[in-house]
């Protein structure tokens, strides 16, 4: 693999589940340690990784300076440390920059996960400790960023996420990328079929036995049980629920107030229609 193979998504769309599957799969389908083995698919915005390849500390930079530096760092990571990485970056040019944080010439291939934004809104609210209304508002905000470091240093550097619709279209409509789109709901409905497709796309063992072992090791139940026993370092301190909370599809129907569900639908209707989210 030459360059960055990205597992990209809007936050709370299933990225960690895919990382857990791949971490197990790369280790022969063995059970994983959530707090140790997920580093096999690192976050491309990890502060230590970015500091090392940039040759400086991002904590000394303004957000605009970080945005200008990101493409350079991405190209260096692609050359010097290629492989599988997670990202929540949009594929857009951030304010103050001249090109996306991860330019196309640094990317080998992209797996993009999309999830019903109404379910995303609920999951984000629990994850970040927001109200449901605040979560819906942020999903429509083209200036939405994560990884900001106030009052302390975040383990990741700043990422310009943008709105849910803009994020989805920025990746799926990029014609210069080798890209595999996956619907979270399809992954739930037919794990063997779609995870086999994922393995084939990434050049990994796609035999039925290998995929089945890795799916069992990374099942929602297995991950949730481990989080309950040992905790999970990627869970936000402000979270109001476990990181692995429910892991289903369509939960918004019982959890999202009708007026908020309608607001999501009005804001993102065109992109939702592309994926049959009704």
Give the tens place of pLDDT for each residue, 7-51: 999 999 999 899 999 999 999 999 988 888 888 899 999 999 999
Taking only the tens place, the pLDDT of each residue in 67-88 is 999 999 999 999 999 999 999 9
202 compared with 221, residue with greater pLDDT? 202
Range of the structural domain that residue 248 is part of: 4-274
Report the first-to-last Cα separation within the chain, whole angstroms. Answer: 38
What tokens appear for 256 in the block?
A: 């999202």
What is the number of domains present in the chain? 1
- Here the CATH number for the domain that contains residue 114 is 3.40.50.300
Neighbours of 133 (CB within 10 A): 14
User: How many helices (DSSP H) and strands (DSSP E) are in the chain?
Assistant: 12, 7
Compute CA distances 70 → 13, 16, 38, 159, whole Å.
23, 23, 23, 10
Residue with the two structure tokens 């019982």? 254
Predicted TM-score (pTM) of the model is 0.93
Stretch among 62-71, 103-112, 161-170, 206-215 having the lowest mean pLDDT: 62-71
Residue position matching structure tokens 């107030």: 257
CA dist 174 and 177 (Å) reads 6
Cβ partners under 8 Å of residue 14, min gap 6: 113, 115, 184, 187
Across-strand partners of 140?
none
Pick the range with the lowest mean pLDDT from 76-80, 102-106, 128-132, 238-242.
238-242
- Write the CA distances from 234 to 32, 60, 257, integer angstroms: 15, 24, 28
pLDDT at 219: 85
171 and 110 in contact (C-beta within 8 Å)?
Answer: yes
pLDDT for 267: 98
If pLDDT is split at 50, 70 and 90, which confidence band does 150 have? low
Mean pLDDT of 235-243: 68
What string of H, E and C letters represents the secondary structure of 251-262? CHHHHCCHHHHH
- Is the per-residue pLDDT at 231 higher than 90? no
- Residue 263: which of 143, 168, 164, 145 has the closest Cα? 164
**Quick check: 152 pLDDT over 60?**
no
Rounded to whole angstroms, the Cα distance separating 86 from 54 reads: 18
């Amino acid at each position: 693999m030459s360059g960055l193979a990205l597992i990209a998504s809007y936050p709370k769309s299933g990225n960690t589940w895919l990382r857990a599957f791949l971490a197990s799969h790369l280790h022969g389908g063995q059970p994983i340690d959530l707090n140790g083995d997920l580093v096999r698919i690192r976050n491309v915005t990890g502060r230590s990784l970015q500091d090392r390849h940039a040759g400086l500390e991002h904590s000394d930079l303004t957000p605009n300076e970080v945005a200008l530096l990101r493409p350079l760092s991405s190209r260096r990571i692609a050359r010097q440390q290629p492989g599988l990485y997670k990202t929540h970056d949009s594929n857009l040019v951030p304010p103050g920059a001249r090109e996306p944080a991860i330019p196309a010439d640094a990317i080998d291939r992209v797996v993009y996960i999309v999830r019903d934004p109404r379910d995303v809104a609920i999951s984000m609210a629990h994850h970040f400790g927001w109200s449901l209304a605040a979560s819906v508002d942020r999903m429509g905000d083209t200036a939405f960023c994560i990884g900001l470091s106030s009052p302390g240093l975040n383990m990741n550097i700043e990422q310009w996420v943008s709105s849910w619709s803009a994020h989805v279209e920025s990746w799926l409509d990029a014609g210069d990328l080798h890209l595999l789109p996956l619907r979270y709901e399809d992954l739930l409905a037919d794990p063997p079929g779609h995870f086999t497709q994922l393995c084939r796309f990434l050049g990994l063992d796609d035999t039925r036995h290998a995929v089945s072992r890795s799916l069992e090791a990374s099942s929602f139940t297995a991950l949730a049980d481990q989080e309950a026993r040992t905790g999970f370092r990627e869970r936000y301190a402000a979270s109001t629920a476990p990181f692995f909370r429910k892991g289903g599809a369509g939960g918004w129907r019982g959890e999202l107030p009708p007026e908020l569900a309608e607001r999501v639908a009005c804001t993102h209707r065109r992109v939702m229609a592309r994926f049959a989210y009704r």
